[in-house]
Amino acid sequence: MSTGLPARKNRLISFWADIVNSEYLNIIRNALTLTLPVVIAGAVGVLLNNFPIAAYQDMMRDIFGEGWRSFGGYVWNGTLAILSPVTVFTIGYNIAERHNQKHLLDNVHPAILGTVAFCSLLTIIEPSANDFAIPYNWVGIHGLFLAIAASIISSELFLRFFSIRRLRIHFLSKEAGAAMSIIFSALVPAILTIGIFALFKAGMAAIGVKDIHSLIYDAIAAPFKNLGNNLGTALLYNFTRHLLWFLGIHGSNAMEPVMTEIYASAMRSNELAVASGARAPFIITKTFFDTYVSIGGAGNTLSLLLALFLTHRKSGLMRIAQISLVPAVFNINETLIFGLPIVLNPIYIVPFIATPMVLTVISYYAVAWGFLSESVMEVAWTTPVLISGYAAAGSFSGSVLQLFNLAVGFLIYWPFVRIAEKVQQVRFEAAYGELLSLSEDMAGACSNLTDQPGEIGSMSRALANDLMDSIRKDELFLEYQPQVDCSTGKVVGVEALLRWQHASIGRVPPSLFVTLAEETGFIEEMGLWVCDESCRQTREWQDRGITDVVTSFNVSVKQLGDPDLPEKIAGCINKHGLDPSNVKAEVTESTGLSSDMGHNILLQDIRHMGVNIAIDDFGMGHSSLVYLKQFPVAMIKLDGSLVKDVTVSKISSDIISSISDLCRTMDIDLLAEFVETEAQAVALKSLGCHVFQGWIYSRALPPDECEQVIRRGFRTY
């Protein structure tokens, strides 16, 4: 009897996937991920300046002087200190790409919308009082919440104005070019959008609110005034701080007045009490939070890292975890906050908020029940785990509590990491499926996969980069499909078929990776590798006594643009000591082979070397017969659609019969691909085709298995 648990689990995953994939959350998540290089660079700068080892600090001061922290400060100024406007731009850019997918005739240049969003944010930020400059405190992480809101509102306003065609200035001339038309069409919508933000800023100033950021932060801190230092206040503090982080507000800075007034002053009171010989009066202090609750940074993200590492070692999240590990050891977790991301990620809201609250309770009672003493010495916030615990408690009991808290945090995060991975798989499979569909329809408008917008384009570019490293990683390999004379059952040839075993996603279909190779220009290197490897394997078979099998390798039409191609093929043949007649070059008709003089000369040169030429997918192209006249063809391979329909379509059988007669007249070999059934084999043989390649005999095989079937042979028809 079914329990229904798998169905409920699938519904839960689908529910989370629907939330996570909601349009704006998806846009914000992508935008935050795009800022990851900037975030990591900034985290490195922070770590350089705050590495908590006195010997390191002294060494840097001795080498570079008292101002040695300037370098890390400059890095911070150019990265985390301006993260808000950077994020605004990337959100606007992503919204423009989403708009362009839906409105093909009303495209907006993404950089224009990103710039408008950027300027809209700066319009409402209160400048520094001293020099009327942009205040760093509100354009960094602290201002991220308002930045996200401003980018979405400004982008939607701009697009609303842009949709009104009367607001566009049409400008197209020979002298200015199309670029000026794009700029002028966005001119009025941009002015109106920025103008609305300026009016909003002026209205706020008129009612006495000059600094909108300060208004938000003061409102957040207000409920904590007059609250005492107790467990309830600590839980409320942690809930608020981490909810703000989740919403994109720098929770630690927003709650800094509370931290200073309640918990930093409690730390000073403890220090004074111990110095006077009295017992420390407060359990919860700034060091209490830094040491036992915020292990790895806000949200106890070191526990999240443990969950990422231990749950699935081959997970796609592992790379982010690896990058985040070293900063997290020193309680710097921006790479996880913005790279995973945690900000506005519904999956992580529960553990990110709940974990610190649970650890607050555990740590509070660990002190209250005497397991460890109150914190009486301030510990630098960048001090690594275990060391900070020992320093705060004055004994190993502090380190033991940290280990226990890490374990508890891991148990809280673990199921949500599993859900996140499942949701990511759903997203990946949907995008990957769409990418495969596009790659299989190269005759349509989607012929350039790496230029596709959104996740499809990002995935294409990532796969293209992986493909260019695939030879070095030994991910490419060849399988060989036998070509059999149906009258004798003897294998007369094999076709070398390229395969790609991607480290993360497994087998990638050739239709996809060949397309990516052609788009990126990698096809020439990859094609030459196929030629060399197939020649090497042929030599190996010959050394084992198999001397009468011809190995075919595919040549992309893109390779025919290389005038040195014949010389490169000859180099592979000579390298392995083969006779040119042992190999055959296949060119596919349907991929753009032209009858121009350049292709003709190259193929003539290859044929003069003694290498036979085969035309693949022959019979359905409008210029098929022209190829027989223009090119030195030794074999043609029937188009698979003709073979598939040979038993049910008289037209297909008549075409095959005509091609067979033509081949006999011109002394050209004929081969039928994709032969799958006995009925097809019998029909093809009756029409004059005797050499078959297809699953009726064998799928493509690894070299050792292919050698076995070559020696064994097949049945006859």
> Tens digit of pLDDT for each residue in 126-153?
876 655 566 677 888 778 888 888 999 9
Q: Is the dihedral of CA 204, 140, 237, 357 positive or negative?
A: positive
In this prediction, residues 323-339 reach a mean pLDDT of 84
pLDDT higher than threshold 90 for residue 573: yes
Say what the pLDDT of residue 446 is: 45
pLDDT higher than threshold 80 for residue 444: no
C-beta neighbour count of 145 within 10 angstroms: 22
CB-based contacts of 67, cutoff 8 Å, min separation 6: none
Say what the pLDDT of residue 314 is: 55
pLDDT higher than threshold 80 for residue 588: no
pLDDT higher than threshold 50 for residue 239: yes
Say what the pLDDT of residue 22 is: 65
Q: At what angle do helices 523-543 and 565-575 cross, to 10 degrees?
A: 30
The rounded percent of the chain whose pLDDT value lies above 70 is: 89
Say what the pLDDT of residue 5 is: 43
Confidence of residue 622 (pLDDT cuts 50, 70, 90): very low
Confidence of residue 445 (pLDDT cuts 50, 70, 90): very low
C-beta neighbour count of 483 within 10 angstroms: 27
C-beta neighbour count of 467 within 10 angstroms: 22
pLDDT higher than threshold 80 for residue 447: no
pLDDT higher than threshold 60 for residue 19: no
**Report for 252-261, 273-282, 596-605, 624-633: range of highest mean pLDDT:** 273-282
From 190-199, 347-356, 486-495, 501-510, the region with the lowest mean pLDDT:
501-510
Question: Which pLDDT tens digit goes with each residue over 591-620?
Answer: 445 555 567 788 888 989 999 999 888 875
What predicted TM-score, i.e. pTM, was given to this entire model? 0.68
In this prediction, residues 89-101 reach a mean pLDDT of 88
Q: What share of the chain is helix, strand, coil (3-state, %, to 5)?
A: 65, 10, 30
Question: Which pLDDT tens digit goes with each residue over 180-229?
Answer: 777 888 899 999 999 999 999 999 999 988 888 888 878 877 888 778 89
Select 458-712's CATH number: 3.90.950.20, 3.50.50.60, 3.20.20.450, 3.30.2350.10.
3.20.20.450
Say what the pLDDT of residue 1 is: 39
In this prediction, residues 45-64 reach a mean pLDDT of 87
pLDDT higher than threshold 50 for residue 156: yes
Question: Which pLDDT tens digit goes with each residue over 530-552?
Answer: 999 999 999 999 999 999 999 99
Residue 615, SS3 per DSSP:
strand
Give the start-end residues of each E strand in 105-215: none
- B/e letters for 79-109, b = 16+ CB within 10 Å, e = fewer, are bbbbbbbbbbbbbbbbbbbbbbeeeeeeebb
Say what the pLDDT of residue 697 is: 94
From 55-64, 270-279, 295-304, 329-338, the region with the lowest mean pLDDT:
329-338
pLDDT higher than threshold 60 for residue 621: no
* Token pair of 137 as six digits: 């405190």
Say what the pLDDT of residue 132 is: 58
Q: 56: burial class by Cβ within 10 Å (0-12, 13-18, 19+)? A: exposed
**Report for 233-237, 258-262, 264-268, 419-423: range of highest mean pLDDT:** 233-237
Helix H or strand E encompassing 83: helix 83-102
* C-alpha count within 13 angstroms, C-beta hemisphere, residue 80: 23
Say what the pLDDT of residue 571 is: 95
* C-alpha count within 13 angstroms, C-beta hemisphere, residue 418: 10
**Report for 13-17, 58-62, 356-360, 434-438: range of highest mean pLDDT:** 356-360
User: What are the boundaries of each domain within the chain?
Assistant: 16-218, 229-241+262-425, 458-712
pLDDT higher than threshold 80 for residue 382: yes
The rounded percent of the chain whose pLDDT value lies above 90 is: 43
pLDDT higher than threshold 70 for residue 423: yes
Please provide residue 263's backbone torsions phi and psi, each rounded to the nearest 5 degrees.
-95, -35
DSSP readout, 640-656?
A: HHHHHTTTT-HHHHHHH
In this prediction, residues 229-251 reach a mean pLDDT of 89
Say what the pLDDT of residue 595 is: 52
